[in-house]
Amino acid sequence: MQVRPLQDRVLVKRLEEETKTAGGIIIPDNHTEKPVQGEIVSVGPGYRKEDGSFRELDVKAGDKVLFGKYAGTDVKVEGVDYLIMKEDDILGVLQ
Amino acid sequence: MQVRPLQDRVLVKRLEEETKTAGGIIIPDNHTEKPVQGEIVSVGPGYRKEDGSFRELDVKAGDKVLFGKYAGTDVKVEGVDYLIMKEDDILGVLQ
Amino acid sequence: MQVRPLQDRVLVKRLEEETKTAGGIIIPDNHTEKPVQGEIVSVGPGYRKEDGSFRELDVKAGDKVLFGKYAGTDVKVEGVDYLIMKEDDILGVLQ
Amino acid sequence: MQVRPLQDRVLVKRLEEETKTAGGIIIPDNHTEKPVQGEIVSVGPGYRKEDGSFRELDVKAGDKVLFGKYAGTDVKVEGVDYLIMKEDDILGVLQ
Amino acid sequence: MQVRPLQDRVLVKRLEEETKTAGGIIIPDNHTEKPVQGEIVSVGPGYRKEDGSFRELDVKAGDKVLFGKYAGTDVKVEGVDYLIMKEDDILGVLQ
Amino acid sequence: MQVRPLQDRVLVKRLEEETKTAGGIIIPDNHTEKPVQGEIVSVGPGYRKEDGSFRELDVKAGDKVLFGKYAGTDVKVEGVDYLIMKEDDILGVLQ
Amino acid sequence: MQVRPLQDRVLVKRLEEETKTAGGIIIPDNHTEKPVQGEIVSVGPGYRKEDGSFRELDVKAGDKVLFGKYAGTDVKVEGVDYLIMKEDDILGVLQ
């Protein structure tokens, strides 16, 4: 089963970040407010223009992206966790 | 009796998700904030354009869709529970 | 005495819903947050366009409609209770 | 002395409603949240259009109107209480 | 020294209202929420249009105006108290 | 070192106001909510228009201006305190 | 690894400010609410126009800029801390 995002949304697979201190202590989740990274799995058709056509997104499947910790909505498809967010929630692309 | 959604709204039949842990304990509703799935039953005519005509929606009856847990409004028609939401509340289509 | 709604507003007569459980216990009002049904009594001339003309509403007098519990404003005209709401507060039409 | 409302505002004389129960007990003001009625005393020139001209209002002096309890601002002119509100705060006209 | 209001702002000299009860008791300020009156001292050039020109205001210096109690910002120029507010905060003109 | 404000922002040097009572008692800052005066040090290129060009501001370096007490953001450049604010935060020009 | 900011965003390297008093006491972070300075590392392609093309930003890589303390989102790329913010969060350029 696949997810086709609508409009200007993208489906993102979160890339785990280490949240351990140097000494190896795991910091609980609510103390690490920094943005996270992910890889785009699929993208929507783009922004709807007034005439009904779409303007394509600036990101594409495979892009590694930075976004805010609370961006998007968690979705689970066939037991796998993803995020669906608007392209505007993406801060930048890692190259 | 049928419901004809107005404008860019859709009528959705919620698809139940399992909210049991591996050990079979049912987690109360307010601990499972993840989005839910549904099937679109009927769709409105679309977005009203300035000239009065409609731009059709990107989803259609029969589509299985993902949406946020708090999207839409619960309605009961002849004893059956549905959701009416705006197309913009739909995150993606399952294929 | 009649009420002529202004612009994109409609005058609605609320249709009572049963709020009893199977065992006949009446659930107090603040526990039944589900939308309610009503019948449209009269409609305003429509949305004002930039040129001053009106775009007619998609609903008409006699339509049975669904709306959110808190939609509109209660008005009493000659002792009868009505709701005045914007067409945009109407979720769908029952057919 | 007269009040000339600006733009899309109207000057309204509130029509008192009875707020007694059948047994004649006067219900304190904060328990009667229902809209009130009034008569329009004077109207502004209308909505300002981009080219500087006005689009006239849909109501006129003498109209009996319904509005929300908290619509408008109370003004006192020569000891008489009025309300100044925007036409958009008027729900409907009584005929 | 003079104040030239910018854009659609006006400089207003507040006209004092009596806030005594019939028996002569002075009601403290926070119990008299009703709008106040003032006289316009000077007006800005008007609303900026897209092409950079101005659309003149509907009020002029010398107009006696009604406005909400909390409209505008208090300014003191050479020891005299004024209010600077946007024309849109003015409810009506007294004639 | 100089500060070049971006777009419709201006750099302002605050002019100190006396906040002493007649008897010479200094009133703490949070009791003197009245706007303050300043002198414009430099101005941005103006409002960006749709075609990318700028519409110049109505104020210029050297203007003595009135603004609300909480307008703008404090900046320190080479040990000197300034305010950077949007032209729209300026209430009027002293002449 | 590089970060390519999207649209009208910029990647900024924060320039540390001294937050010691004259006597050398370090003031804790939450007492120094003043804006901070940074150097722009890379910029996005600009503001998306209706036709899909970009309008370039007014700032460029290498610019030293002033911004509000809470502007932007902290990102860490290969162990180095940056800020990603919208150009509109930049108050001015140091020259």
Q: Do G3 and A92 touch (CB under 8 A)?
A: yes
**Contact check, Cβ <8 Å, E91/D2:** no
CB B37 within 8 A of CB B15: yes
Assess whether pLDDT exceeds 90 at residue C27.
no
Chain E residues in contact with D76 by the CB 8 A cut-off are: 34
Q: What is the CA radius of gyration of chain C?
A: 15
Gap between the Cα atoms of A26 and A54, Å rounded: 44
By the 10 Å C-beta count (0-12 exposed, 13-18 middle, 19+ buried), B67 is classed as: buried
Give the per-residue pLDDT at F31: 44
- Return the residue in A13, A73, A78, A82 with the most chain B beta carbons within 10 A, the one to mutate for interface testing: A73
Per-residue pLDDT tens, chain F, 95 aa: give them.
789 999 999 999 998 755 555 565 555 444 445 568 999 999 999 998 878 889 999 999 999 999 988 899 988 888 899 999 999 999 999 98
Whether pLDDT at A22 is above 70 = no
Q: How crowded is residue F41: how many other Cβ atoms within 10 Å of its Cβ?
A: 19
pLDDT the model gives residue E21: 55
Of B73, B93, B92, whose CA–CA distance to B81 is shortest?
Answer: B73
Q: How many CB atoms lie within 10 A of CB A6?
A: 22
Residue G3 is assigned to a structural domain of this protein: no
Q: Which residue has the tokens 């009860």?
A: E21
Q: How far apart are CA B48 and CA B61, in angstroms?
A: 19
Burial of A92 (0-12, 13-18, 19+ CB in 10 A): buried
pLDDT at C51: 81
pLDDT value, residue A69: 84
* Cβ–Cβ below 8 Å for F4 and G95: yes
Strand partners, D93: C4, D65
C5 touching D (Cβ < 8 Å)? yes
Q: What is the pLDDT, as a whole number, of residue C30? A: 47
Q: What is the pLDDT of residues B29-67, one digit of tens each?
A: 444 455 589 999 999 999 988 788 899 999 999 999 999
Q: What value does the mean pLDDT take over residues D6-22?
A: 80
E34 Cβ under 8 Å from any chain D Cβ: yes
pLDDT tens track for G35-88: 689 999 999 999 988 788 899 999 999 999 999 888 999 888 888 999 999 999
pLDDT at D15 over 50: yes
3-class SS of residue A52: coil
Q: What is the CA radius of gyration of chain B?
A: 15
Mean pLDDT of chain D: 84
Q: Which of D84, D79, D78 is nearest to D14 (CA)?
A: D84
Rg of chain E over Cα atoms, rounded to whole angstroms, equals 15
Residue F90 in contact with partner chain E when CB distance is under 8 A: yes
- Tell me if B49 is assigned to some domain: yes
Of F6, F73, F74, the CB nearest to G58: F6
DSSP, collapsed to helix, strand or coil, labels residue F89 as helix
Query: pLDDT value at position A30?
Result: 47
How many residues does the structure list for chain F?
95
| Nearest residue of chain F to residue G94 (CA atoms) | F3
Has residue A75 got a pLDDT over 80? yes
Asked if residue D24 has pLDDT above 50, the reply is: yes
Q: What pLDDT does residue D45 have? A: 95
Distances from the Cα of C52 to the Cαs of C8, C47, D49, in angstroms?
14, 9, 10
What's the confidence (pLDDT) of residue D7? 94
Q: What distance in Å separates residue G3's CA from the closest CA in chain F?
A: 24
Whether residue C24 is contained in a domain is answered as: no
Q: Give the per-residue pLDDT at F13.
A: 95
Q: Is F20 a member of any domain?
A: no
Tell whether G48 is covered by a domain: yes
Extract the tokens encoding C20.
């009893």
User: What is the number of structural domains in chain D?
Assistant: 1
Averaged over G2-31, what is the pLDDT? Answer: 73
Q: Is the pLDDT of residue B2 over 60?
A: yes
Q: G47, G7 in Cβ contact below 8 A?
A: yes
Give the CATH number of the domain where residue C57 resides: 2.30.33.40
Do G3 and G73 form a contact (C-beta atoms < 8 A)? no
Residue B26 counted as domain residue:
no
User: Averaged over B14-22, what is the pLDDT?
Assistant: 64
Q: Pick from A93, A78, A84: which is nearest to A6 by CA?
A: A84
H-helix or E-strand spanning residue A45 = none
In this model, does residue C92 exceed pLDDT 90?
yes
What pLDDT score does A32 carry?
47
3-state SS string over chain B? Answer: CCEEECCCEEEEEEECCCCECCCCCECCHHHCCCCEEEEEEEECCCEECCCCCEECCCCCCCCEEEECCCCCEEEEECCEEEEEEEHHHEEEEEC
User: Which DSSP letter does residue D25 get?
Assistant: P
**Higher-confidence position of G65 and B78:** G65
Task: Please determine, for residue D44, whether its predicted confidence score (pLDDT) is greater than 80.
Answer: yes
| Chain C, nearest residue to D48 by Cα | C50
Q: Does residue D72 contact residue D43 with C-beta atoms inside 8 Å?
A: no
Residues spanned by the domain of D41? 9-16+28-94
Residues of chain E with pLDDT under 50: 28-32
Q: Using an 8 Å Cβ cutoff, are B65 and B41 in contact?
A: no
Q: Is residue A16 part of a domain?
A: yes
Which of G92, G90, G95, G93 is CA-nearest to residue G10?
A: G90
pLDDT (mean) for D16-44: 67
The tokens describing B36, both together, are: 């839910």
The verdict on residue F27 lying in a domain is: no
CB-based contact A35:G74 (threshold 8 Å): yes
What lies within 8 Å, CB to CB, of B84 at 6+ separation is: B3, B5, B9, B10, B11, B12, B72, B73, B75, C66, C91, C92
